[in-house]
A and B are shown apart, each in its own frame.
Chain A
Amino acid sequence: QVQLQESGPGLVKPSQTLSLTCTVSGGSISSAGYYWSWIRQHPGKGLEWIGSIYFSGSTYYTPSLKSRVTMSVDTSKSHFSLNLTSVTAADTAVYYCARVTTTVTTMGWFDPWGQGTLVIVSS
């Protein structure tokens, strides 16, 4: 079955760029009908969708982060990435990657998820 694994630095300095990669195994990142997503969870808080990318490179970002977010996909390496620029302490969170199953008309549900990686923004 498809598995996702996040990787990247656990500590980022304020004003720098947070960069994470999600490696997909057990299935093709180029499969039709799936977007690949990033979701974050601030400590003790709820879930926030950051954005999603298709294997073609088509992206959707949440408006509140759109000016700072870039997502990319590398089908040859079966991974997709998140860059979040100009980070502050408010970006400290557990970052998850997940696959989104799309429907005919909409994005759909997140499954499976990676285990998550805690990123702390601190000097």
Chain B
Amino acid sequence: DVQMTQSPSSLSASVGDRVTITCRASQSISSSLNWYQQKPGKAPKLLIYGASNLQSGVPSRFSGSGSGTDFTLTISSLQPEDFATYYCQQSYNTPLTFGGGTKVEIK
């Protein structure tokens, strides 16, 4: 199985901050990496697919980069509605696996 490791597990940030979340795969997964946002009591929402492709309707302050084993989700200017938990997910092979999540909290 491909293990996905996210860091940090949580972070505190202020509105307007630039936020970076990292996801590392236990083996090369090419660009088969997807990012989700989950708010309490809600289903996850797709943000980025294929490492760097912005899902339709997602604000452009979200961006993704990376390939191989190391990937990054960046929020260029954190907004109040962005406080949530973020998950990466590899789709290189089955079983499909998720990272442990990064909780973004208000400083």
Contacts and interface: CB of A to CB of B under 8 A. Distances in A.
Contact of B97 (A49, A52, A116): A49
A109 B99 CA distance: 14
A101 B44 CA distance: 15
B54 to A, nearest CB: 12
A62 B95 CA distance: 5
Interface in A81-121: 96, 98, 100-101, 103, 106-116
A61 B44 CA distance: 21
Range, interface on chain A: 20 to 34
A114 B45 CA distance: 10
B31 to A, nearest CB: 10
A52 B97 CA distance: 13
B92 interface: yes
Provide the main secondary structure of the chain A interface.
Answer: strand
B87 A46 contact: yes
B100 interface: yes
Given A108-B34, A108-B91, A46 B100 contact: yes
Interface in B1-39: 1, 32, 34, 36
Nearest to A101: B49
B96 A113 contact: no
B87 to A, nearest CB: 6
B94 interface: yes
Interface residues of B, number: 25
Contact of B93 (A106, A110, A112): A106
Interface of A: 46-49, 52, 60, 62-63, 96, 98, 100-101, 103, 106-116
A15 to B, nearest CB: 25
A42 B4 CA distance: 18
B91 A106 contact: yes
B63 interface: no
A112 B57 CA distance: 13
B101 A46 contact: yes
A103 B49 CA distance: 11
